[in-house]
Chains A and B, each alone.
Chain A
Amino acid sequence: MTSIAPPGPDTLVARRPEVEWSPAAGAERPPSRRRGNRSAAIELGSCALASLAFIWLLFTIAGLSAPFGFVVCWYLLFLVSYAVLSNSLHGRLVMKDRLATIGVWSGSLVAGLALAAVIGFVVFKGAPVAFAKFPHFWTTDMTRGGAATPVTSVGAGAAIMGSVEQVGIAALFSVPLAILTAVYLVESQSVLAKIVRNIVDAMTGTPSIIAGLFVYLIWVQPHGVNGKSGVAAAVALTVLMLPLTTRASMEVIKVIPGGLREAALGLGAPPWRVVLQVVVPTARTGLITAAILGVARTTGETAEVLFTAGGNQRYNLNPVHGWQDDLPLRIYELIGQPSLNAIREAWGVAFVLVSVVLAFFVLSRSVGSSGRGTLISRLLRAARRPTIGDTP
């Protein structure tokens, strides 16, 4: 072709569709991604269906009715058949890959199912109790409860107020202390910082009963009957909340770029102003998230308040005097009672507790996702913006 005429621009244009159209080239084209996925999906689906049908037949013939066993047998047979099929069609490596994929998916499915089962069960059991005559359950105390009285005559109001006060006081103690400590642990390289860093790590894993035991021995027991109070519970909660919040705040402060600090120092700011006006404001939303998460985790802690809050059926708004109720403790005490109504009420209180904790969780998520990225990126952008005299 080249010997007849030099290839002009139109021959080039004409040639391209020729290559595209030739059947040989089309045959060599790799199979498209979607087609591969479809055949894999067909193999997967047919294995699942075939094993389901087989197990169903087997269970019907044998006259078995065990839902759990049915699912397990189905799953196992499905794995085996899928492995055999993949092995014969695609070889050993693909079989391993596919089995692993199935394992990964079912593993995370089980984790999700567990969460859904817990929360779904609490909502299913608790929501009818908590929303019967709506604000009633959230405001009334437990005084009119009894084996014969209906569930709707009592409420979790006293427990809610107790929890609010105890967790509030604990947050008041621990959040400022935790943020100051976290700043120190990140900024300082001293021996004390090293020791405290390890101690915070160690305390994060402390069994919660030990914090309760500590406050019981140091405060409650020496003071006799009056020892149990909201403040005692708050102190016990602080022992748990302090390391949690400190660790989370440290993570937040650690990711602040060193350049920001150096810029401020380079402009002549003294270190304390760098910390207060650059480091902490930059980390602000992250610190708020850390504090909220600490509050969420602390609200549900039972072992600490078991020995320290005392529990109270009626309202006691005074945290320093008298026994006080709170949500986890109320659930625990209701579970211990023999009547069926008490269990229903316990589900109601559990619903209140879970919804409070979930609200905190969602709040921390939304604060974290809306704020953290934008603040840091805004600062970085501001730092990168060329100023007058910057251009050469």
Chain B
Amino acid sequence: MTTTATLTAPLPPGSVDDTPITFSSGHSSADRAFFGLLACSAGIVLMLLVALVVFLFAHGWWALVHFNVRFFTGTVWSAPLEPGVLGLLVGSVEIGLVALFFAFPISIFTALMIVEFAPPPLRRTLTALIDLLATVPSIVYGFWGLEALTVWVQSPVSWLAKYFGFIPIFRTLEPGRFDDSIFICGLIVAIMIIPVITSISREVMSQAPREACEGALALGGTRWGMITDVILPFSRSGIVGATLLGFSRALGETIAVLLILSANNQVTAAILGPDGGSVTKQIAAFFPTSSPNGQSELTLAALTLFATTLIFSLGGRLVVQGGLRRRRS
């Protein structure tokens, strides 16, 4: 918009572009009342989040004061005497990383498929299917993972553990027990974050400048050459942001993780084994039955998780928007 304005004659100051006029609130009393109503509803949304954070903070205050830094640095979660949220967070992060390992390439390829490869009628179908993937409830994914996926991946996983057990992440202490591992959680969560990463990167990729794409093709480049030299550099920040958003979604996933993971929560690098905790699982499984002190600890753990996901999701959004703005200007 601004580029066209500068390319043609410089517009006189104050002239109308296509951007809508901003309203000043001083038109009439009806206007003031109406926009006051709108502002009120926005205020309610604001209050909701503030209330959420303040309330959780108030409940976690006891644990914060009582354990202080130990709470955030302790790697063993044995509530209520020795809660160390780092131990749980490591499990959540491991699940997120496994999920990203599978979801990232699949999502990028699917986004490329929708933007570049698929014939136009297939494009719409694929977009709808990816949206559908986001709509299926997480409890259904969790149940499916519990009943179907754990059975299906049993033999490949045991093969991996048998022949590649010397690599620390594939080591197993309890051979033959592969059905409640971080790995399987990661697989299920991967399916859930595929739509997040795919839809954002697709949107960013489709905004790649058409003339540059066509130029690359006209110079004799292959389609893949066009993708690596035009589309991917253009949408790099969008893809990074989408990945961060997907990771934050993976950290917050609750029900599937709760259904799959065992009751253990030890910090472990062995992702195929039954150990490994997760913040969300711990809260969902133990919150209502905990003592008041235990609830305070779990609340503080929830806040820690909330802050972590917030960092990743806001960071991701900033990267996406920043990248787009830089390209546009």
A residues at B contact (CB < 8 Å): 66, 68-69, 93-94, 96-97, 100-101, 103-108, 110-112, 114-115, 117-119, 121-122, 125, 177, 180-181, 183-185, 187-190, 192-193, 195-196, 198-211, 213-214, 216-218, 239, 242-243, 246, 257-259, 261-262, 265, 270-272, 275-276, 293, 296-297, 299-303, 306-307, 328, 331-332, 335, 343, 346-347, 350, 353-354, 357-358, 360-361, 365
B224 touches A272 (CB 8 A): no
Cα distance A118–B141 in the bound complex, in angstroms:
7
A117 touches B148 (CB 8 A): yes
Do A209 and B280 form a contact, CB below 8 Å, given A108-B126, A118-B136?
Answer: yes
A217 touches B55 (CB 8 A): yes
Whole-angstrom distance between the Cβ of B248 and the nearest chain A Cβ: 5
Whole-angstrom distance between the Cβ of B119 and the nearest chain A Cβ: 12
Cα distance A272–B105 in the bound complex, in angstroms:
47
Whole-angstrom distance between the Cβ of A59 and the nearest chain B Cβ: 14
B18 touches A101 (CB 8 A): no
B136 touches A302 (CB 8 A): no
Most buried by B among A108, A118, A259, A335: A108
Cα distance A111–B199 in the bound complex, in angstroms:
13
Which residue in A302, A307, A358 is a CB contact (below 8 Å) of B255?
A302
Cα distance A58–B66 in the bound complex, in angstroms:
64
Cα distance A27–B283 in the bound complex, in angstroms:
74
Q: Which residues of the other chain, B, contact A202 by a CB distance below 8 angstroms? A: 49, 310, 313-314
Cα distance A111–B56 in the bound complex, in angstroms:
37
B131 touches A361 (CB 8 A): yes
For the complex, is B101 an interface residue (Cβ under 8 Å from A)? no
A343 touches B287 (CB 8 A): no
Cα distance A350–B251 in the bound complex, in angstroms:
24
Closest 8 A/B residue pairs (Cβ): A300-B137, A107-B109, A207-B252, A272-B34, A205-B313, A184-B38, A258-B20, A97-B222
Chain B contributes a number of interface residues (CB within 8 A of A) equal to 97
Q: Which residues of the other chain, A, contact B164 by a CB distance below 8 angstroms? A: none
Cα distance A107–B118 in the bound complex, in angstroms:
13
B106 touches A101 (CB 8 A): no
Q: Which residues of the other chain, A, contact B306 by a CB distance below 8 angstroms? A: 206-207, 210
Name 23 interchain pairs, CB-CB below 8 A, sorted by A: A108-B113, A118-B140, A118-B144, A181-B42, A185-B42, A187-B23, A188-B38, A188-B39, A192-B42, A206-B306, A207-B280, A209-B252, A211-B52, A214-B51, A259-B18, A270-B31, A271-B31, A272-B34, A300-B137, A306-B284, A328-B137, A335-B143, A346-B143
Q: Which residues of the other chain, A, contact B173 by a CB distance below 8 angstroms? A: none
Interface mask (B219-252 → A, CB under 8 Å = 1, otherwise 0): 0001111010000000000000000010011011
For the complex, is B254 an interface residue (Cβ under 8 Å from A)? yes
Cα distance A357–B114 in the bound complex, in angstroms:
24
Whole-angstrom distance between the Cβ of B262 and the nearest chain A Cβ: 14
Which residue in B19, B55, B132 is a CB contact (below 8 Å) of A258?
B19
Task: Identify the closest chain A residue to B196 (Cβ).
Answer: A205
A365 touches B128 (CB 8 A): yes
A196 touches B42 (CB 8 A): yes
Which residue in B23, B252, B283 is a CB contact (below 8 Å) of A271?
B23
Most buried by A among B159, B255, B305, B310: B255
Q: Which residues of the other chain, A, contact B146 by a CB distance below 8 angstroms? A: 335
Whole-angstrom distance between the Cβ of A320 and the nearest chain B Cβ: 21
For the complex, is B27 an interface residue (Cβ under 8 Å from A)? yes
